[in-house]
Amino acid sequence: MSTSTSYVLYGIKNCDTIKKARQWLDNHHIIYQFHDYRTDGISIELLEIFIQYLGWEALINKRGMTWKKLSDEQKANIIDATTAKELMLKYPAIIKRPLLTTTNNDYLLGFSIDEYQQFLHHRG
pLDDT exceeding 70 applies to what percent of the chain? 95
95-120 pLDDT, tens per residue?
Answer: 999 999 998 899 999 999 999 999 98
- The total number of structural domains that make up the chain: 1
**Domain contains 91:** yes
Among 51, 56, 30, CA closest to 117? 30
**Domain contains 77:** yes
- The whole-number average pLDDT for the span 53-74 is 96
The residue range of the domain holding 96 is 7-122
The strands making up 99-102's β-sheet, listed across from edge to edge, are: 32-36, 7-11, 99-102, 107-109
* Residue 5: pLDDT band with limits 50, 70, 90: confident
**Domain contains 17:** yes
Q: Which residues have a catalytic role annotated?
A: 15
CATH of residue 30: 3.40.30.10
